[in-house]
Amino acid sequence: MPRPWLLVGLLLAVGCARNVRPGGGEEGEASWYGPGLYGRRTASGEVLRPGDFTAAHRTLPFGTCLRVLNLDNGRSVEVRVNDRGPFASGRILDVSEAAARALGMHGRGVVRVRLERCGSAEGTALGGVGWAVYSPMNRPDGVGFPDGPPDPRQH
């Protein structure tokens, strides 16, 4: 006897799948926040600052550390997810101005990127075990990293 709920579940799972490469990492287009949003609160409650290495992702938990690789020029940077988005069709990530400059995408606006978890030499598919998650520290606004923000020059 056919089970319609099984078919619905399978279709739902396929429809919600992200563009994850077999070798690991999610690929797609990334953009950066424009100056009109600076000073506003993100979905996590933090204030958006152009100099922070932060990003917006639709589903990853706040605090998730991502390595973002610009597929056009090979530059990469580590960012911390603190917002939801992007809401433009086809995009998988919005990054702060500092991250955009480090990635060499500031002038272009939108570039193809690969997302991997921080600390991974090879990269693993998003959603796997081992995601680095940072919790708020003792800054006046309640935001921070245990050892300071990631240094984009390390990549």
pLDDT for position 63: 95
Question: In this structure, what token pair is assigned to residue 24?
Answer: 């690991």
Tell me the domains of the chain and their CATH numbers: 20-154 (2.40.40.10)
Q: Which long-range contacts (CB under 8 A, 24 or more apart) does 101-110 make?
A: 102/53, 102/75, 102/77, 102/152, 103/30, 103/68, 103/70, 103/73, 103/75, 103/76, 103/77, 104/70, 104/72, 104/73, 104/75, 105/30, 105/32, 105/70, 106/32, 109/31, 109/32, 110/29, 110/30, 110/31
pLDDT for position 3: 61
pLDDT for position 11: 39
Check residue 99 and give left, alpha or beta (phi > 0: left; psi -120 to 50: alpha).
Answer: alpha
Does the pTM exceed 0.75?
Answer: no
Tens-binned pLDDT, residue by residue, of the chain (155 aa): 556 545 444 433 334 444 544 445 899 999 998 888 888 999 999 999 989 999 999 999 999 999 999 999 999 999 999 999 999 999 999 999 999 999 999 888 899 999 999 975 544 445 443 333 333 333 334 444 445 555 544 44
pLDDT for position 18: 47
Q: Does the bond joining 50 to the residue before it have cis omega, within 30 degrees of 0?
A: no
